Structure 1
Amino acid sequence: MIVERAYASRPPEEADVWPWSVPCVAELLAGGLNFTTPVTFLVGENGSGKSTLVEALAEGFGLDSWGSSHDWRYASPRSKSPLGERLRFDAAPGRGRRMLGSWSARQGFFLRAETAMDALKRESFDPESVSHGEGFLAVFREKFQQAGLYVMDEPEAALSFQSCLELIGHMDQLAKNGGQVICATHSPLLTALPGADIIEVGAHGMRRTTWDDLAIVDHWRRYLSDPRSYLRHVLD
């Protein structure tokens, strides 16, 4: 583990504006977000705020907000989000305290679906030599090695079923090697990783849950059992 808790304070005059008005952000402001296991999944519908959270967590740790490793910056740097600017961490004992205590000691990677291929180029990898999904896996194989904080925003976007299983293996190995993963996802495959902490994000804010109780798991079970029960609502 690298971090045990994330917390932030908002400007007092901005209570009703984004991002402070997003329910999960409001809950973070009220009590912080505790990390209890090396792998944490944030799950929720589009617009729930999970990507806002993971981007701010990456920025707070010092990872480039466009995506890439800790020691690299885009030529035209993007300013931090309002939440990322104010985010702070409580370090986990040992390695976490060393990393948060020294900028040069920090290790990690922020993977976001929109900029992953560009990040590959910046990391001296030729993404044109492989498919989009293989490029994602190349990041996992080459960059997700050292103990550090690895933040991901919907990494399953370019991955097949089999590739998602490989990613689960990389996450598990990172956890065993002392790393930490925080991942926003819609994937019932990824969230099935044994021992992972699952936080459902939505209008309620944030709540811890289990894989069996996830709404996305229930929907996929129902859909695969009887697609027509869903499709009749969207098809003429």
Structure 2
Amino acid sequence: MIIERAYAHIASHDENAWPWSVPCVRGLMDDGMRFTKPVTFVVGENGSGKSTLVEALAEGFGLDSWGGSHDWRYASPRAKSVLGERIRFDAATRGRRMLSSWSARKGFFLRAETAMDALDREGLAPNSVSHGEGFLAAFRGKFLEPGLYVLDEPEAALSFGSCLELLGHFDQLAKQGAQVICATHSPLLTALPGADIIEVGDHGMRRVAWQDLALVDHWRRYLADPHAYLRHILG
């Protein structure tokens, strides 16, 4: 574990303005976000704020919001988001040196929209491979040592088999003392044994068991009877 809690305290702000109006962001400000396991999945519908949340966590740790490793930040001209610049952490034992020393900080932020650009920039996007294989190149080449690894919907480019390989990387990272925070829509990824799952939505944030996730219930019912869903969509 690297961090045990993330929080953001702001003296004054407009609660009706974005991002402060997003329920999970309000929860971060009111109670903070606690991490109890080496791997944490953040799940929720589009617009629930999960990507806003994980991007701010990455920025707060010093990772480029465009995606990439901590080392790349020195060459990045992009400013942090209004939330990212206010994120603070309570460190776990392993993370105290990382948070107190810039040179000791290790990590990587992978976001679906900009992943290939970030990988190419760091020499990790080989030619003549698929988008998904490029993603896996990052996992094999950069997800190697204790640090904070933040991912935003990595399953977007991955097949079923590649998602299983990614789970194997997550498991190995956890065993080596790293920490993973991953925003996802994938019932496959969230099934990782021992992972913590935080569901975000109008309620804010809450911990949910895998079998109780709304996305798991929907996928289970859809695969059992696609027509029950499609009849409402296709007329």
Q: What are the Cα deviations for residues 42-91 of structure 1, in whole angstroms up to 9, with x where unaligned? A: 00000000000000000000000100000103866222111101000000
CA distance in 2, matches of 1:139, 1:50: 22
In the alignment, the residues of structure 2 paired with residue 16 and residue 10 of structure 1 have an alpha-carbon distance, to the nearest angstrom, of 14
| SS state at 1:234 partner | helix
The answer on whether the counterparts of 1:117 and 1:127 sit within 8 Å (CA) in structure 2 is no
- Native 8 Å contact 1:147 1:180 kept in 2: yes
1:122 to 1:207, Cα distance in 2 relative to 1, 3 A? same
CA contact (8 A) 1:150 1:182 kept: yes
Residue 34 of structure 1 is matched in structure 2 by: 34
Identity of aligned residues (%): 78
Task: State the match for 2:70 in structure 1.
Answer: 70
Q: Distance in 1 between matches of 2:214 and 2:62?
A: 33
AA aligned opposite 2:173: L
Structure 2 residue 188 is the aligned partner of structure 1 residue 189: yes
Q: Which residue of 2 aligns with 1:16?
A: 16
Q: Which amino acid aligns with 2:28?
A: L
Question: Number of aligned pairs?
Answer: 235
The amino acid that maps onto 2:39 is V
The residue number in structure 2 matching 1:100 is: 99
Amino acid at match of 2:6: A
**1:166-181 to 2 correspondences below 5 Å:** 166-181=165-180
**Residue 38 of structure 1 contacts residue 196 of structure 1 at CA under 8 Å; is this kept in 2?**
yes
Partner amino acid for 1:177?
Q
**One-letter amino acid of the counterpart of residue 138, structure 1:** A
Structure 1 residues 228 and 74: CA distance shift in structure 2, 3 A: farther
Question: How far did residue 125 of structure 1 move?
Answer: 2.8
Residue 223 of structure 2: aligned partner: 224
TM-score, length of structure 1 as denominator length: 0.97
Counterpart in the other structure of 1:110: 109
- Cross-structure match for 2:2: 2
CA separation in 2, counterparts of 1:221 and 1:121? 37
Tell whether the 8 Å contact from 1:39 to 1:182 is kept in structure 2 after alignment: yes
| Partners of 1:140 and 1:170 within 8 A in 2 | yes
Contact 1:67 1:115 in 2 (8 A): yes
For 2:47 and 2:84, the matched residues in 1 are separated by: 18
Alpha-carbon distance in 2 for matches of 1:181, 1:114: 19
